[in-house]
Structure 1
């Protein structure tokens, strides 16, 4: 009897604690888990019954955090292969550590990498030849996976200069591979981030040989003469005049079919397009390309002639849904789903590109800045149901905002209330804000066809101002600063409220002129390099920032300067520093792609001081993605309150939460080593006026 009881107890504990042996699913081998980019794991050891017992297993200090100005970030989704975790530090160095202990194996020490925030690395292997591909600055490095040493037979002594091949007249030097590349057989397929002004480089998608670094194919996201899509640009020869239309957000890959799914960004300049009349293919598209050759199979343009920076913010998801087929019978369909900054989800048949749900070309306002010709219509999915609200008007002002009356006055003078309002010299409101809606963390998906999307709803206002017109701030500004810096840091140099673009006032107390000149040459984080402008222009900017001159006569070196600039990404807060719209301000939504309907939506994050006032959790601004597991759990950090949470994927109910050493503005990974499941999150902070950090924190059951 005693022996039977013990056996029953052991059986019960094995069920509760999710006993699990190593299997083929122990690794997290790619960005967001696999080529489908679904942030999904079949591991089940951590489950609803035991998740409350999660503890910190180990943490790793990656180094390089800016703890003085809090400007560094970590957006890395680490990969784990054969018990080794590969990631990127706060100062953009690649590293390898033991995934069970956090003990470092190797770490790079590149001094010329540009210091750009990275979302992770890419792994490729052929027998004993195991490689890590790592993008930093304009360089794409090939490293030995076991040692971290450069593979000198790849490219030029172990690295590729990504600027080569995407130059055009008048372009700057800013190009970054900030999102992990995509592997197809022996090809390394890359997109890049380029600047968003009229000096942007071209946004071509390219594939390189994984062994040699030799360029294999290129897809022109801005077509050249004779290529399909060239007719959607006017005047002609857009590749000589226009940049952007780049894949900065990453791609998904269906390796069985050999199809690459690549979203593309806006053409530059982001907010004024009179010099690029037409729909502007293949900007703002979801492209389906033959992964072996780069040949276009199909495309769908998500925004025509984008003048709102409404490019898709994340890789698409590849999943299978069930729909009613002929005769009313259930039919399995392999689909590709793309979430957007506007809060829409576009769903297509993965092979044909046919929309699964109706998409309606919908008219929008046409009043625009001088010379601008907006598209008369934009494609609006009728399903799935949007995961954010679609308008912000006077009735949507936060009811307990302390300066509600003055906010009403502002909004009555603004252009608002509908998506896709062209910018003019009158204040225009973006809702959701300029960076989402959905953001670069993207969505998770499970085998049931459910999409889990973190999003935010923060009104942003913006205005176009003429570059050749004196403004009331002219005495405080000069021509070079206005042209290159004011769109982000403001004409008054105050930056924006949440610190995404810092104040440049009293800069002399933080940085020397030599340090500022170095930043202008190399760029850092969100800031592009300005090495392409003249020495006189850089000196003029530096002199102005240090209050030595207000010279407005320095000539610019650009080949083409558009007549407008925007007034910056002005996130709209009330006098207490809270978002002016009615909550929720951050959400997590479960969307059933089988029906197009929501299963649930909950606030993501909270302000403890508001909760103490009796206000239900509002959600917060957020960056980073979710992780969903076969045990029915969603793991997500992302929120401004610096917490890591686990939710029930069936209900959205919070099952567990834990404070982090800094904001987890990244996507978590899960893996198993020696039969033990771990979950890891990069805690880099540095956004939304929160402190920077350098730790990777890993959780497991005791």
Structure 2
């Protein structure tokens, strides 16, 4: 018997208060162009890249035209900057005047001469972390005399003098604020990591953050801070409190124990109207939601907030009661489109599952039809899946939606035979099929998308959007939680989702912890647990007996006997300045917990053949252009290669890719992104034709930036090979220019 879903079956696609919206729209004075930094030599012509994503609209578009389709083949390396470190680098650099701001993999901040790559200064917060850091924010006063560079290290937001790299001590506590604060006493403890920069609006910086994907995780509140003092000016509860709209879409007390629904991607801004748009992630835990039955607003939602007050203007939820980790993967983009014969200010949002949703950015009205489609009920005890999910029915998905037997790999007869046998054990019936106990369900496109965090580029002149996507299959399932010792229980709740119940992981994306136990000391493993690394969040609160038991289980698969190996005692606090609002910190461990989970995720599994290649037919990565005036695709091409397959004639396979494109007014698309071939590419925006490529030492798993200094246009990208551990490792910035 199918259980009734608690929310009303006929739900509106969006909720808006147009009267409030009209009253809240404010015009702001436009800032003058940001001058070159103090002491910089005069330039003949300087064009900045002063915002994450190129502009506050998120279009990754540059007006520069010096590099053209006709001369792009002449591009050569202009300079490089080696960080001297070897882990992942995903930074989208920020360029103001003659200065380029960048991170190292350990989140040191460096300022470089944008024309030469020479280091000008560096800043080390003292906080050790391996989390990705994707960009910066920059504030300039209306008169242009005051400037602040906002940088982040783990949970700390720093206000730096952009000329010197010194903290501005009037901001927060000696130059920084701690985003673990101000989440409310009810918020569970857990990871807070700022991987994407905030959005500057007037004298505010609006911040989201990354958190863990298992309990306990904190509430994903979106907050705005005063750029001068660091004082919090407003907060929006993405998990509504009692009496707030959306509270009725959760169980009564879920707001006390459930976390997530966080804006980890960053957002975009309609500066004239004062509207901030923020996509949110999933509520925890990602794959079993018996303790959060309901639609779970405002998880998996695109939010339009009054940037002055944080008041909700309208929202759209793309996934009700998410059971598939289908959080929004990237910020949206703002464009002006021709719709029904009129020009409409619009917002477009991509998804992990290949859908494009387009709305009137003021009212939230869909510009292309969206329908609630029926999907299967869950067969897992205690779970109640949403009976419907919204689907964009006029714009074709940019990634394949359902894996069938005729789509399996033909790379070799042996690989095909293996894939057919393995596929026969899966459930594969398209989107939004709830995970099952004891059998793997195909997620296609995979858990990483579809679209991913690199975002898309768009032409503000034409309304054409350009996006790269992954197009490979993953699988996932559920298993019953059984009684276990402290080490096994901690591993099951915090580690097994990525590294598997057997601790074998799925290298290279999810490393084997059996191998780690052989190569890392307990002290080294503790450092990774507390600091995080790559896609793994930090677990800084793990200490004492719990940490000891976890280390023993990870290393041996058994509970510790007697006095355990490894590190004992409480976790050491990370070196951040004393916080000024300690009374508002969440408790060290949540005092309120939801129902004990009966099932947990079996782990992320890519559907790879025995040789490590995707077990489905290609292309495995794509690059597309879609005209958002009509919803029609203009072109789609494979993106990426495996060098060893290309050498055998398989050149158009595509590959996994992370990091987005940038577009120039001359009609060029620059993109790195691809995991295995280490290439930087330039495509013709009109046709999708490849015009230029260059093989770098490391992969460009980041979004490039383009700028001009002294009349010369540069294209720069961060490179590293962390997603391909078989490759030579390093982390370097590479800038290209014409001779």
Q: What is aligned with 1:10?
A: none
Q: What is aligned with 1:232?
A: 249
Contact conserved, 2:159 with 2:175, CA < 8 A, in 1? Answer: yes
Q: What is aligned with 1:459?
A: 473
Contact conserved, 2:211 with 2:217, CA < 8 A, in 1? Answer: yes
CA distance in 2, matches of 1:367, 1:115: 37
Contact conserved, 1:143 with 1:149, CA < 8 A, in 2? Answer: yes
Is 1:449 aligned to residue 460 of structure 2? no
CA distance in 2, matches of 1:614, 1:521: 45
Secondary structure of 2:514's aligned partner: coil
Equivalent position to 1:632, from 664, 667, 676: 667
CA distance in 2, matches of 1:183, 1:692: 35
Q: What is aligned with 1:368?
A: 379
In structure 2, stretches of 5+ residues that fail to align are: 1-42, 565-587
Secondary structure of 2:170's aligned partner: coil
Secondary structure of 2:423's aligned partner: helix
Contact conserved, 1:114 with 1:138, CA < 8 A, in 2? Answer: no
Is 1:486 aligned to residue 496 of structure 2? yes
CA distance in 2, matches of 1:418, 1:545: 35
Per-residue CA deviation, residues 134-177 of structure 1 (Å, 9 max, x unaligned), is 11111111111110001111011111110112255583331011
Equivalent residues in 2 for 1:653-668, closer than 5 Å = 653-668=689-704
Is 1:678 aligned to residue 711 of structure 2? no
Is 1:390 aligned to residue 375 of structure 2? no
| More displaced 10-residue stretch of structure 1: 458-467 or 608-617 | 608-617
Aligned length: 663
CA distance in 1, matches of 2:471, 2:257: 34
Q: What is aligned with 2:108?
A: 93
Secondary structure of 1:451's aligned partner: strand
Q: How far did 1:400 drift?
A: 2.6
**CA RMSD, Structure 1 to Structure 2 (Å):** 2.1
Secondary structure of 1:529's aligned partner: coil
Per-residue CA deviation, residues 52-72 of structure 1 (Å, 9 max, x unaligned), is 000101111123x23xxxxx2
Q: What is aligned with 2:147?
A: 130
C-alpha spacing 1:380/1:41, structure 2 compared with 1 (3 Å): same
Contact conserved, 2:188 with 2:256, CA < 8 A, in 1? Answer: no
| More displaced 10-residue stretch of structure 1: 145-154 or 510-519 | 510-519
Equivalent position to 2:655, from 609, 616, 620: 620
Equivalent position to 1:107, from 118, 122, 133: 122
Per-residue CA deviation, residues 354-403 of structure 1 (Å, 9 max, x unaligned), is 00000011011113311111111100001221111111121211123423
Q: What is aligned with 2:343?
A: 332
Per-residue CA deviation, residues 478-523 of structure 1 (Å, 9 max, x unaligned), is 33322322221122222213x1221122435432212222332333
Q: What is aligned with 1:435?
A: 448
| More displaced 10-residue stretch of structure 1: 532-541 or 416-425 | 532-541
Q: What is aligned with 1:693?
A: 730
Contact conserved, 1:533 with 1:557, CA < 8 A, in 2? Answer: no
Q: What is aligned with 2:433?
A: 421
Secondary structure of 1:478's aligned partner: helix
Q: What is aligned with 1:139?
A: 156
| More displaced 10-residue stretch of structure 1: 371-380 or 536-545 | 536-545
C-alpha spacing 1:170/1:482, structure 2 compared with 1 (3 Å): farther
Equivalent residues in 2 for 1:605-616, closer than 5 Å = 605-616=640-651
Contact conserved, 1:224 with 1:238, CA < 8 A, in 2? Answer: no
CA distance in 2, matches of 1:142, 1:80: 17
C-alpha spacing 1:334/1:576, structure 2 compared with 1 (3 Å): same
CA distance in 1, matches of 2:274, 2:478: 44
Contact conserved, 1:219 with 1:295, CA < 8 A, in 2? Answer: yes
CA distance in 1, matches of 2:137, 2:728: 28
CA distance in 2, matches of 1:611, 1:681: 24
CA distance in 2, matches of 1:208, 1:654: 44
Q: What is aligned with 2:584?
A: none
CA distance in 1, matches of 2:714, 2:125: 30
CA distance in 2, matches of 1:161, 1:557: 18
Q: How far did 1:529 drift?
A: 2.8
Secondary structure of 1:275's aligned partner: helix
Equivalent residues in 2 for 1:513-528, closer than 5 Å = 513-528=522-537
Equivalent residues in 2 for 1:582-597, closer than 5 Å = 582-597=617-632
Per-residue CA deviation, residues 299-355 of structure 1 (Å, 9 max, x unaligned), is 111111111110110000001111233xxxxx2111000000001110000111000
Contact conserved, 1:115 with 1:136, CA < 8 A, in 2? Answer: no
Contact conserved, 2:131 with 2:537, CA < 8 A, in 1? Answer: no
C-alpha spacing 1:312/1:651, structure 2 compared with 1 (3 Å): same
Contact conserved, 1:624 with 1:664, CA < 8 A, in 2? Answer: yes
Q: What is aligned with 2:12?
A: none
Contact conserved, 1:198 with 1:562, CA < 8 A, in 2? Answer: no
Q: What is aligned with 1:46?
A: 67
CA distance in 1, matches of 2:347, 2:107: 31
CA distance in 2, matches of 1:611, 1:548: 41
CA distance in 2, matches of 1:542, 1:611: 42
CA distance in 1, matches of 2:255, 2:348: 29
Q: What is aligned with 1:248?
A: 264
Equivalent position to 1:543, from 545, 549, 552: 552
C-alpha spacing 1:165/1:178, structure 2 compared with 1 (3 Å): same
Contact conserved, 1:160 with 1:213, CA < 8 A, in 2? Answer: yes
Q: What is aligned with 2:516?
A: 507
Contact conserved, 1:113 with 1:139, CA < 8 A, in 2? Answer: no
CA distance in 1, matches of 2:631, 2:318: 18
Q: What is aligned with 2:569?
A: none
| More displaced 10-residue stretch of structure 1: 209-218 or 412-421 | 412-421
Per-residue CA deviation, residues 439-463 of structure 1 (Å, 9 max, x unaligned), is 0001100021111010011111111
Q: How far did 1:575 drift?
A: 1.4
CA distance in 2, matches of 1:406, 1:658: 35
Q: How far did 1:627 drift?
A: 0.6
CA distance in 2, matches of 1:537, 1:42: 55
C-alpha spacing 1:149/1:324, structure 2 compared with 1 (3 Å): same
Contact conserved, 1:29 with 1:79, CA < 8 A, in 2? Answer: yes
In structure 1, stretches of 5+ residues that fail to align are: 1-20, 67-71, 326-330
C-alpha spacing 1:277/1:509, structure 2 compared with 1 (3 Å): closer
Secondary structure of 1:52's aligned partner: helix
Q: What is aligned with 2:16?
A: none
Q: What is aligned with 1:69?
A: none
Secondary structure of 2:467's aligned partner: strand
Secondary structure of 1:528's aligned partner: coil
- TM-score normalised according to structure 2 size: 0.87
CA distance in 2, matches of 1:96, 1:652: 35
CA distance in 2, matches of 1:691, 1:233: 48
CA distance in 1, matches of 2:335, 2:654: 28
